[in-house]
Amino acid sequence: MIAIQYLCPECAGMTEITDIEKIKNAEDQYPLTCHACGAPFSKDALIKFARQKAEEMINEALFQLKNSSSQGNK
């Protein structure tokens, strides 16, 4: 499981998201709060952020894979 660091928009404190499926399946619209200040994070914002981070990680992995395979062809 990959953990994602989420920056609180209220206090700039870091909160770790470890189980996005649990957040997606939660009935509560504010399933997570900031560890530093207690501000609630909306389900929609957390899912959007996690999706964006996942896309960034995939793109970075594909870039590295492409670079490593092109270096192997030299």
Listed by start position, the domains of the chain span: 4-72
pLDDT tens across 8-21, in order?
A: 999 999 999 999 99
Neighbour-count burial of 59, counting CB atoms closer than 10 A to its CB (0-12 exposed, 13-18 middle, 19+ buried)? exposed
Answer yes or no: are the C-beta atoms of 25 and 49 closer than 8 Å.
Answer: no
In the three-class reduction of DSSP (H, G, I as helix; E, B as strand; rest coil), residue 4 is classed as strand
Model pTM?
Answer: 0.78
In the three-class reduction of DSSP (H, G, I as helix; E, B as strand; rest coil), residue 27 is classed as coil
pLDDT tens across 41-52, in order?
A: 999 999 999 999
In the three-class reduction of DSSP (H, G, I as helix; E, B as strand; rest coil), residue 30 is classed as coil
